[in-house]
Amino acid sequence: MKKTLLIALSLGASVIATSTMATTIDPEKDRQQFVDYFKAKNPSIAPDEYINGAYIYSADKMAQWEAAEEFPPYLDAIDEGEALYNKDLAVYEQCFGSDVSKIRVKYPYFDETAKQVVTLEGAINKCRTDAGLKPYDWKKGPIAQISAYLAYNARGQKINVKIESDAARAAYQAGRDFFIKPRGQFNLSCAKCHVDNSGRNARSNTLSAALGHTTHFPVFRAKWQNLGTLHRRYVGCQKNIRAKPFEAQSEPYRNLEFFQAYTSNGLEINGPGYRE
Ligand code: HEC
């Protein structure tokens, strides 16, 4: 079972590479296969638990994490996000409507007109620049705080990414190819660490499963001592394997997020989260 998923995923990738249409990929089948793979690998862990990252693999770590989440270090950041949001409330209401609990769950989505993936952070900055406001930096600071405020208000809702066109399927597939392709000086793929070796230790870290990777972002990391977005994490993982990272919110990362979010469909939004 362990090998089957990657083989299936990479087979799909090579089939696509030689064909022009993205119709051979079935995202829903992929997602189901993802869930089944992790179920088979760790029968005692329910799919819903994957939203808690690597902590699910150790009772001790889980207890420490739960203690940290009782008085989480990201509470101030949520307040700051709320204040920032309310400062430009009229602008944001034009873009997102007046119910802050209904925003996070809409992202990421595939914009059928612009033919590209739109992330929550991308939409926040676009909303700002369209209204003549300055965009925020992508990886931390105000954008992460606003994202945290919106995630917090959406807690408990379920990831629900839709793929309804060939163009959307192609974006999903690009993200999926990115996820599978080995790269960097160590020639490692995201899948190698977060699928194949999930639950195992890499130096002092336990590797999380890719399932549920997007549910809890933005994340307050002890290592950062502040909040960071999902793309900040992507940059970090690419640097760790000595691969040249892409820019946060670049097309490859937006497609990667789209793939990761789709394969986490049905899991609860639980951001912002605390991580080591
Ligand atoms: C050498 C192994 C390795 C590779 C390759 C790797 N990562 Fe990671 N990644 C880690 C480690 C270690 C952590 C921190 C422990 C954890 O949460 O998994 C991490 C954390 C993450 C997290 C945060 C998980 C959480 O619960 O908050 C995400 C998301 C992530 N990686 C995505 C990726 C993506 C996407 C790629 C491919 C571009 C990638 N990683 C490649 C080792 C790796």
Tens digit of pLDDT for each residue in 109-144? 999 999 999 999 999 999 999 999 999 999 999 999
Separation of CA 10 and ligand 1 centre (Å): 19
Handedness of CA 151, 135, 250, 26 (dihedral sign): positive
Looking at residue 6, its pLDDT comes to 56
Tens digit of pLDDT for each residue in 192-238? 999 999 999 988 899 999 999 999 999 999 999 999 999 999 999 99
**Dihedral (C-alpha) 28, 30, 36, 41: value to the nearest 10 degrees?**
-160
Q: Is the CB of 22 under 6 A from ligand 1?
A: no
Share of the chain above pLDDT 90, in %: 89
Inform me whether the pLDDT recorded for 155 exceeds 50.
yes
Inform me whether the pLDDT recorded for 168 exceeds 80.
yes
Inform me whether the pLDDT recorded for 157 exceeds 80.
yes
Looking at residue 16, its pLDDT comes to 43
Q: Is the CB of 209 under 6 A from ligand 1?
A: no
Separation of CA 194 and ligand 1 centre (Å): 6
What does the pLDDT average to over 40-67? 96
Distance from C-alpha of 86 to C-alpha of 63, rounded to nearest angstrom: 35
In this prediction, residue 95 has a pLDDT band, given cuts at 50, 70 and 90, of: very high
Nearest CA, atom 11, ligand 1: 207
Inform me whether the pLDDT recorded for 5 exceeds 80.
no
Inform me whether the pLDDT recorded for 100 exceeds 70.
yes
Tens digit of pLDDT for each residue in 226-273? 999 999 999 999 999 999 999 999 999 999 999 999 999 999 999 999
- Which positions are annotated as active-site residues? 237
Distance from C-alpha of 268 to C-alpha of 202, rounded to nearest angstrom: 27
Nearest CA, atom 36, ligand 1: 190
Q: Is the CB of 208 under 6 A from ligand 1?
A: yes
Inform me whether the pLDDT recorded for 2 exceeds 60.
no
Distance from C-alpha of 63 to C-alpha of 55, rounded to nearest angstrom: 9
Tens digit of pLDDT for each residue in 13-38? 444 444 444 457 899 999 999 999 99
Looking at residue 83, its pLDDT comes to 98
Q: Is the CB of 211 under 6 A from ligand 1?
A: no
Return the closest-CA partner of residue 212 out of 52, 58, 63: 52
Q: Kindly calculate the radius of gyration of the chain based on its CA atoms and give it in whole angstroms.
A: 18
Inform me whether the pLDDT recorded for 4 exceeds 80.
no
Distance from C-alpha of 78 to C-alpha of 73, rounded to nearest angstrom: 10
Q: What is the token pair recorded at 61?
A: 């770590």
Separation of CA 216 and ligand 1 centre (Å): 14
Q: Is the CB of 232 under 6 A from ligand 1?
A: no
Rounded to the nearest integer, the mean pLDDT of the chain is 93
Q: Is the CB of 100 under 6 A from ligand 1?
A: no
Looking at residue 25, its pLDDT comes to 86
Separation of CA 208 and ligand 1 centre (Å): 7
CB atoms within 10 A of CB 234: 23
